Amino acid sequence: MGMNLKNYSSNRAMKFTESVIREMTRICLKHKGVNLAQGFPDFPAPAEIKEAALRAIQADLNQYAITWGAPNLRQAIAEKFSWYNGVAIDPEREITVCCGSTEAMISSLLAIVNSGEEVIVFEPFYENYGPDTILCDAKPRFITLHEPDWYFDEEELTQAFNNKTKAIIINTPNNPTGKVFSLEELQFIANLCLKWGVIAVTDEIYEHILYDGAKHISMASLPGMRDQTISINSISKTYSLTGWRVGWAIASESLTAAIRKVHDFLTVGSPHPLQEAAATALRIDRSYYNTLAKDYEERRDFLSRVLEDAGFRIYRPRGAYYIMTDVGHFGISDDVAFAFHLVEKFGVATVPGSSFYSRSSLGATKVRFCFPKKRETLEQAAEKLRNFKAKR
């Protein structure tokens, strides 16, 4: 009998499972379904950014960039962070360009967290944060965001901070809930960070995808938080370029020095020609962001109507491009069974709610839909969901 996988895998790797989201994508392909599981756009990226990438390759910017990022891109990041988020930063000392915000997050956590230290995570959470804390041997402390508007209990959060707390991860606008943290909420969190000397690690990749007049606020712009925040972002969502793998972490000089070391030995760097094109993206005409938000608002409204017509209970998002729904009343045993039922029988892939929670019971009646899709893709999904309604 051969050795099974367990004999070779590290204890670390055995502590988490394969990504459920990317598994749903594979199942969807098998059933030739409409993929409303994994959050990537199926429409083209802006032409001027693609042309910039072609030019960069032709100009032979094809070797390693400086490990912490091409100067042109770091300059563009600093300019944009200043006008949009209201914080001036030094592109020489306070930015690390990484392979997407995914690498920026894990490099940042590995750079600051010691074994056994605690990291506070709001749940439901973007699924990477679970394995991220395991990979840096941190102890995650989960704080529930309560529906319908995904508020947190201030007392519960206050109790979670202690001498072992190293960081708190904040994702706003939020995946999967669509919550946009308010100034009051961020100020409350900031006060706790300042009191306990805790680093706020913020994932702001949906900062331009906002609805109903919601405003994005960067934690780093709050008094006293500039040097106690690691602000993470990428070109993936704002410019529909999830496959390019260009993201970054913005932090004080001393935090950045640690992040740069981890990043260098993990990946050396993000693709050089795509970094050059990312600089073009960040300098795009500012009207682009209004159009982006407006287009997404139309998609949100369309899918919301379709889901409600099909009998789903929805939590209306104020930002990002997902809709959390409640499916408990459909009478299928749990969220995983429901997601499989929907993709296998009706050809619509979603993500089971439990994959966003540390305690799966909290997500047992929920599934998440995403909508960064062409109108025709959403129409196809609508057709399939009408079929679901008819056969229920």
**Contact pick of 247, 271, 352, 353 for ligand PLP (by CB under 6 A):** 247
* 372 binding ligand PLP? (CB under 6 A): no
**Which part of the chain contacts ligand PLP (CB under 6 A), choosing from 214-222, 234-242, 308-316, 348-356?**
234-242
Q: Which two tokens stand for residue 88?
A: 């001036």
Distances (CA, A) of 371 to 37, 156, 175, 217, 376: 9, 33, 12, 23, 12
In terms of CB distance, is 241 or 310 closer to ligand PLP?
241
Q: Which two tokens stand for residue 275?
A: 């970094």
Other Cβ atoms closer than 10 A to 155: 8
In terms of CB distance, is 165 or 270 closer to ligand PLP?
270
In terms of CB distance, is 100 or 269 closer to ligand PLP?
100
* 126 binding ligand PLP? (CB under 6 A): yes
3-class DSSP state of 157: helix
In the region spanning residues 295 to 354, those forming contacts with ligand PLP, defined by CB under 6 A, are none
* 169 binding ligand PLP? (CB under 6 A): no
Cα 62 → chain centroid: 28
In the region spanning residues 188 to 227, those forming contacts with ligand PLP, defined by CB under 6 A, are 203, 205
Peptide bond into 41 cis (omega under 30): no
* 175 binding ligand PLP? (CB under 6 A): yes
- What lies within 8 Å, CB to CB, of 8 at 6+ separation is none
* 39 binding ligand PLP? (CB under 6 A): yes
CB of 108 to ligand PLP, least distance (A): 12
Closest CA to 89 of 109, 74, 108: 74
Rounded (to 5) percent helix, strand, coil in the chain: 45, 15, 40
Q: φ and ψ at 313, to 5 degrees?
A: -95, 125
**Contact pick of 35, 96, 218, 242 for ligand PLP (by CB under 6 A):** 242
Per-residue string for binding with ligand PLP, 90-109, x by CB under 6 A?
----------xxx-------
Residues lying near ligand PLP in the complex (CB under 6 A)? 39, 100-102, 126, 171, 175, 203, 205, 234, 236, 242, 247
